[in-house]
Amino acid sequence: MNGWHPADIKAAVEKTGTNLTRLAIDSGIHPAACRRALAARNIPGERAIAMRIGKPLWELWPDRWAPPANEGDSPIRIDNRRRDPASAAPDAEIQHRKG
C-alpha cells in the first residue's frame, strides 16, 4: 500500500498558499503537528493536511487509514503499532523477588 510521498504532500499544501507550520497554527493544533504527520502518525496533523488539500486520509496514508465502512462514516484508523506481548504481562521475575 503506497500512499503519497511526504514531499508530494508538502508540495500540495504549499500549492494552496500556505506551509505545514502555518496550516497547523491556523488549524489550532501544535505548530509541528503537520510536519510530524509526514513521518509518523499525528492524527490532528493528518486531518488538517487532508482537509486543506481535499484528499481523503486513506489516499494520503493507506497504511494509517482505511476508507469508512459506510458512506458518511468517519475513516477507520489503522492501528499498526507494534506491541510486545511480554510488556502487557506483569514481570514474573520481579513479582517473585517481591513475594
Q: What is the pLDDT of residues 13-70, one digit of tens each?
A: 999 999 999 999 999 999 999 999 999 999 999 999 999 999 999 999 999 999 988 8
55 three-class SS: coil
Nearest to 47 by CA among 71, 69, 23, 63: 23
Q: How confident is the model at residue 78, as a pLDDT?
A: 85
Q: How confident is the model at residue 2, as a pLDDT?
A: 83
Q: In terms of C-beta density within 10 A (0-12 exposed, 13-18 middle, 19 or more buried), how is residue 98 classed?
A: exposed
DSSP code, position 72: T
Q: How far apart are CA 27 and CA 53, in angstroms?
A: 13
Complete domains list, the chain, with CATH: 6-98 (1.10.260.40)
Q: What is the DSSP string of 4-42?
A: --HHHHHHHHHHTT--HHHHHHHTTS-TTHHHHHHHS--
